């Protein structure tokens, strides 16, 4: 919802990140509320009540907190914590009743930043819902707007066209009768905050309510109407706020009349995954692995997507296939190798004579009863004979990634050893294994090189469904950093707490430019597949990939800036499926 005051909260100062690198829950404030004391001294109790109401609406203060109970220490603590969090989120460092009021008054949009429970997309904004279909109609009733009806219809239609271009899932059509999305202008009969100068100017309801209302008391200009319409349609489609000043979904007006890249990424993450496709004639008892390999010459790059997997139950063979762009080639078995778990596939540098090229590098655990780790390479048409990694063992799938000129591998220990170990390969030999202190897993980890960091991601030990990550950089003497959890902020009546995402299997990861994309299966009992982006040390919230499911961890790979995902079916379904985001 937009308010008519167009000021930015703090000119020239970027807002604080919603999720810092590791965010701890705010400390409880046990002293009397500073805001209550300031309001009492200045005889501004009405302002305090108004500010508290705004903090409740934006999702920072619980509905049961009575700020007029001045001797209630818990209420005082909750009020101050809510105000501090609201001001930190949007970049205001000065704390006080007046500065809080200025920030609230300058707010463009009244849609809450947060829900009162659940996981939230903090980089993109909390998702408010999802349309189950993409073919939507809209109807514009321009009565009450100061602009000519034809102008209003043209501007609103153009806004929907821009969203349709950003999210191909949708097709919007103007309709003269009852429609999926109803757009109206009016006063407090539409919204009790409409009808007076300085109030809320527009409101958009989350899916699938299909309501978009504008305040007829506003003096609308074409640019203002387009900017507000674009923002509110974002809410109508399910997006909430971003903490980036360059985003259309930032809740303070920057008069943005285009859909920026971050917002495009957000809407496509919600609606961009294509319907799943089953790969005919193949099956597995574990998740597959994906990798991209190829070469580049003066006319461009020629890269292909590859997949490797273990056979169905009772078949320990390892198979592989190549994606043609429209489907997968018939599977081929890699002779003389076998595994009780899915293999790991990655690319490695094979450049020679100034021609950039990459081949395939694969590692896997041995067959049942064999905890050894083996590897093979494919540069041209054939896989090399398998070779053992001497002196190591695992009970799960290992992980691979090329980084800083070497191939790195990480793996879980054998049987009941839930430690994580790693080694590096110089092209001829693997260095002695090293244990990463203080971490553990019940499943195989994942590795990914992005920029000057090598990241590792893993599920926790038995009984711990959280997902963790750390990294090592390319500096001399670099060491693995302490583990961090993939977590989001949960807002409740007592303040903010961290909520960790969960899984019962190892995650899959891929790079998207300088960002990380991660996918994973849900916790035990949840066969859904979830997706989240990670960039600038900040996680976006988890997004469910609609209408798919798995019994093991999915795989990700990026081919020509398109993100592909592959996975085994749900329990009882050994089929392999794939989709892509774009």
Closest of 114, 101, 128 to residue 243, by C-alpha: 114
Question: For the residues 403-430, what does the mean pLDDT come to?
Answer: 97
Question: For the residues 33-46, what does the mean pLDDT come to?
Answer: 62
* Whole-number pLDDT of residue 10: 34
Domains and CATH numbers, the chain: 2-105 (no CATH), 135-271 (3.40.390.10), 277-581 (2.120.10.70)
Residue 172 phi/psi, 5° resolution? -105, 135
Report the range out of 88-97, 189-198, 522-531 with the highest average pLDDT.
522-531
Q: What percent of the chain has pLDDT over 90?
A: 61
pLDDT tens figures, 450-461: 999 999 999 999
Measured distance CA(363)–CA(290) in Å, rounded? 13
pLDDT tens figures, 181-213: 999 999 989 988 888 766 678 889 999 999 999
Residue 121 phi/psi, 5° resolution? -90, 100
Q: Is the pLDDT of residue 371 over 90?
A: yes
End-to-end Cα separation, the chain, in angstroms: 29
Question: For the residues 174-184, what does the mean pLDDT come to?
Answer: 96
**Res. 28 pLDDT band, cuts 50 70 90:** very low
pLDDT tens figures, 535-555: 888 787 778 898 999 999 999
Q: Is the pLDDT of residue 288 over 90?
A: yes
Measured distance CA(580)–CA(569) in Å, rounded? 16
* Whole-number pLDDT of residue 493: 31
Q: What percent of the chain has pLDDT over 70?
A: 77
* Whole-number pLDDT of residue 20: 25
Q: What's this model's pTM, rounded to 2 decimal places?
A: 0.77
Question: For the residues 52-60, what does the mean pLDDT come to?
Answer: 69
pLDDT tens figures, 310-321: 999 999 999 999
Question: For the residues 229-248, what does the mean pLDDT come to?
Answer: 87
Mean pLDDT (the chain) is 84
Q: Is the pLDDT of residue 40 over 90?
A: no
Interacting residues of 476 by C-beta distance below 8 A, sequence separation 6+: none
Interacting residues of 366 by C-beta distance below 8 A, sequence separation 6+: 338, 339, 340, 372, 373, 374
Q: Is the pLDDT of residue 271 over 50?
A: yes
* Whole-number pLDDT of residue 23: 25
Strands, DSSP E only, in 178-234? 181-186, 200-204, 211-215
pLDDT tens figures, 343-369: 999 999 998 777 889 999 999 999 999
Peptide bond into 208 cis (omega under 30): yes
């Amino acid at each position: 919802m937009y308010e008519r005051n167009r000021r930015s909260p703090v000119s020239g100062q970027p807002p604080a990140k919603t999720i810092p690198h590791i965010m701890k829950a705010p400390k409880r404030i046990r002293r009397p509320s500073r805001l209550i004391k300031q309001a009492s001294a200045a005889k501004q109790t009405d302002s305090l009540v108004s500010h508290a109401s705004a903090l409740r609406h934006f999702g920072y203060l619980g509905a049961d907190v009575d700020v007029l109970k001045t001797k209630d220490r818990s209420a005082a603590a909750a009020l101050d914590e809510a105000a501090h969090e609201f001001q930190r989120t949007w970049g205001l460092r000065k704390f006080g009743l007046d500065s809080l009021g200025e920030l609230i008054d300058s707010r463009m949009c009244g849609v809450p930043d947060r829900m009162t429970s659940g996981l939230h997309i903090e980089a993109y904004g909390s998702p408010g819902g999802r349309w189950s279909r993409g073919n939507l109609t809209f109807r514009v009733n321009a009565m009450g707007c100061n602009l000519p009806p034809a102008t209003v219809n043209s501007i609103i239609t153009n806004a929907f066209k821009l969203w349709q271009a950003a999210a191909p899932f949708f097709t919007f059509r103007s309709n003269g009768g009852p429609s999926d999305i109803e757009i109206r202008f009016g006063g407090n009969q539409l919204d009790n905050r409409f009808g007076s100068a300085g109030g809320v100017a527009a409101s958009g309801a989350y899916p699938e309510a299909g309501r978009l209302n504008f305040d007829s008391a506003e003096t609308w200009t074409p640019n203002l109407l387009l900017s507000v319409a674009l923002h509110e349609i974002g809410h109508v489609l399910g997006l909430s706020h971003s903490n980036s000043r360059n985003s259309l979904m930032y809740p303070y007006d920057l008069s943005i009349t285009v859909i920026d890249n971050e917002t495009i990424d957000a809407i496509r993450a919600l609606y961009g995954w294509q319907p799943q496709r089953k790969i005919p004639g193949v099956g597995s008892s574990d998740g597959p692995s994906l990798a991209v390999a190829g070469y580049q010459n003066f006319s461009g790059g020629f890269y292909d997507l590859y997949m490797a997997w273990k056979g169905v139950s009772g078949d320990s063979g390892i198979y592989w296939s190549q994606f043609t762009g429209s489907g997968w080639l018939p599977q081929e078995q890699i002779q003389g190798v076998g595994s009780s778990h899915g293999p790991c596939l990655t690319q490695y540098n094979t450049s020679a004579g100034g021609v950039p090229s990459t081949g395939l590098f694969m590692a896997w655990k041995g067959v049942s009863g064999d905890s050894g780790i083996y590897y093979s390479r494919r540069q041209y048409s054939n896989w090399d004979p398998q070779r053992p990694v001497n002196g190591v063992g695992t009970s799960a799938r290992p992980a691979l990634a090329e980084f800083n000129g070497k191939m790195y591998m990480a793996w879980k220990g054998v049987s009941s050893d839930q430690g994580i170990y790693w080694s590096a390969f110089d092209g001829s030999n693997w260095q002695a294994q090293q244990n990463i202190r203080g971490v553990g897993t019940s499943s195989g980890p994942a590795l990914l090189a992005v920029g000057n960091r090598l990241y590792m991601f893993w599920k926790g030990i038995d009984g711990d469904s959280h997902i963790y990550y750390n990294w090592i950089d390319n500096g001399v003497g670099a060491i693995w950093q302490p583990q961090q959890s993939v977590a989001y902020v949960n807002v409740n009546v007592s303040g903010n707490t961290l909520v960790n995402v969960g899984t019962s299997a190892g995650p899959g990861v891929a790079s998207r430019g300088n960002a990380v994309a991660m996918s994973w299966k849900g916790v035990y009992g949840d066969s859904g597949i979830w997706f989240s982006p990670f960039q600038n040390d900040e996680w976006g919230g988890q997004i469910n990939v609609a209408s798919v499911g798995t019994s093991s961890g999915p795989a990700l790979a990026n081919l020509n800036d398109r993100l592909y995902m592959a996975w085994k079916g749900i329990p009882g379904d050994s089929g392999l499926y794939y989709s892509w985001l774009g």
